[in-house]
Chain A
């Protein structure tokens, strides 16, 4: 399995501000993803973080709101821009090394006031 860390683990932010979440994997992986998990809900895929190119976003998510970077094979960032209380959620990154096995980070718990 891959060991995935995220920073920060939690944050409380004011509306209108932006937060960048970092995801670091302990070894090279083929794919990285970002998910959102609203309180008591399931996981929803935000986008695929592509190494060296623009992320691929799922329906309902746009680059202006959730810009993503992946400068190398082990690191990615997700920015939540111009936050509102509706953005309060857990943000999770995941990585795939071989075949389909996908491993998740511990999550970043975001509260927007």
Chain B
């Protein structure tokens, strides 16, 4: 089955700086990679996703990239703000199989 690794497990960033979270996956059939933000006491919130036939996708301060050959994908948050502090999860699935395999999570702390 699919295995998703996520790094780092914790990340502290000065407000205004950028944050990068990286994930690798094992199953070459995986082609859909969502990212979730989970705030304390809440369910995961889908913030952005990307398919492996698209190299990069941006949404305001958030960008995701995927390298199908190397089997890794990344989340980039620019101009970080205190409200970006949360736990971020990457995940992977394949077309026709919507079951998600999650990474282990990254606790992001933005230092004011």
Chain B interface size, as a band, is 20 to 34
A10: nearest chain-B partner, CB-CB: B41
Report the Cα distance A43→B43, complex, angstroms.
Answer: 10
The A-B contact count (CB < 8 A) is 51
Chain A interface size, as a band, is 20 to 34
Given contacts A43-B44, A92-B44, A100-B49, are A31 and B98 in contact (CB under 8 A)? yes
Verify B32–A100 contact, CB threshold 8 A.
Answer: yes
Report the Cα distance A31→B101, complex, angstroms.
Answer: 16
A96: nearest chain-B partner, CB-CB: B98
Name the distance in Å between B55's Cβ and chain A's nearest Cβ.
18
Report the Cα distance A48→B97, complex, angstroms.
Answer: 11
Verify B102–A42 contact, CB threshold 8 A.
Answer: yes
Name the distance in Å between A77's Cβ and chain B's nearest Cβ.
17
Name the distance in Å between A73's Cβ and chain B's nearest Cβ.
15
